[in-house]
Structure formats: C-alpha cells, structure tokens
Amino acid sequence: MADSGNWCLIESDPGVFTGLIKGIGVSGVQVEEIYSIDKDTLEDLKPVHGLIFLFKWQGRDPASATNQAPIEYENPDVFFAQQVITNACATQAILSILLNSRSIELGEELTNFKAFVSDFPAEIKGHAISNSDVIRAVHNSFARSDPFINEMGDPNSKEKEDLFHFIAYTPINGCLYELDGLQEGPRNHGPAEGDAWLEKVGPIIQERMARYEGGEIRFNLMAVVDDRIKVYQEKVAAYEVQLKALQDKEGPDAGA
C-alpha cells in the first residue's frame, strides 16, 4: 500500500461521515453512532444499510480468518475495492456500503463513478477511488489530525504507534458481507435474508473485539441509516392517515 497520496486523516465521527456522504451527492441517509448491537437498538434505527466498524489494526487481520468466512475473489454483484493508500479507509468503508446498496440514492457523481469502475479489478477500483478529485476533496474537507484514527502510520517512524482501521458490514443479495479494503476480496458470512443480517453481524463483531486484551476499549461502531427527519416525517404522515381513517369510521357524531 502506498503513502497517503494527499489524503488527510478524518475524525471517526457520525456527523463528519454524514457530511462526507452529503458532500459527494448522496441523499436520504445519515450515519449514527451506536453503543450496542442488541435487537432493540437496531430496531429503532431500521432500515440499516450497513455498519462501519473501527478497531486497532494488528497486521494481517487474524479475526476474519478464524471465523471461516470465505473470500470471494470474483463476484460481479459485490462492489469491492482494495485500499491502495493510507488515510482513505474511513471513506472507503462508507463507499463500500453506499455502492452496494440498491435503495440509496447515490446522486450523479457516485452513479457515474460506479458505472465507470464496475468492471475493473479490485486494485484498480482502489486506485480509481484514490484518484477521484471529487471524493478526495470532500474527504479532505473534514481533515483532522487525530492519533486515535491513525491509519497505517508512517512506516519509517521509529516510534510505535497504535494504528486503526475501518471496515464495513452490509447485506448484499441476501448474504452478509464484510468489506475490508486491506483484504484480497469481500468475505461472505453466509445467508441473511432481510434484516436477519443485523442479528448475524453482532456475534461476528463481538468475536473480533474479544481477540484484544481486556484493557482495549478503543472500538467505534456506526450505522448508515435513512435520514431520521425523513423517517419521522413518514411516520407522522402514516399516523395522520390512520387517524383520519378512524375519524371517518366513527363519523361526525363520534365523541358527542
């Protein structure tokens, strides 16, 4: 993997990620930080398009290998890009969710980008992301130097640094996928129709966290969800329809 390629560090923050998503022209979704992956928490956030997980990088990740999820090297239905430069994995994790969704409105920029690179191999897709002036400019507009999210670090540094990495989990064609730009391909965690992937992903993330020493607490989990204002507006509209139906059923003399 090459150096930063003029990509800056960005903060692991749901507001930053939401701004980044809007900045590249995607509408109707936002990012929410979550502190639990229990059923009730995820139920309140539905529909969930994907999860972004931040963890301390420990070299070639043993956690993915031990859970026996196979790598799919050739799957035209999955958009997968390898990470070719440092500092880009946060944006790449976000793109992994956006570009694999069939329900998110990508906007003109990402729609054209996806169409242009869809037939490229994973490494070339990664180079296309790193060379996109629009994506890089939006990413860098949220630049912040923060050691908590240092991605891969300086290979020439003599000081030992804690390095952190972002990956994505998202449902694609009825299966749960793990999309990690440092791997050779997407990992298929098996069938998970509908919202069943939300129940399946919990133990996978917990198993990964359990591989760290007990004092390690620097994890971050965020969900890409529908815009909450839009969700609540739709709920209000549905309640108004139900209320009107009840009023019409009871007639003008109801409550007299």
How many alpha carbons lie under 13 Å from residue 172 in its C-beta half-sphere? 24
Asked whether 166 and 89 are in contact (CB, 8 A), the reply is yes
Active site residues: 89, 165
Q: Can you tell me the distance from the alpha carbon of 129 to that of 3, in angstroms, rounded to the nearest whole number?
A: 14
Terminal CA-CA length for the chain: 75
| Residue 190 φ then ψ, to 5° | 100, 175
DSSP 26: -
Pairing status of strand 164-172 against strand 175-179 = antiparallel
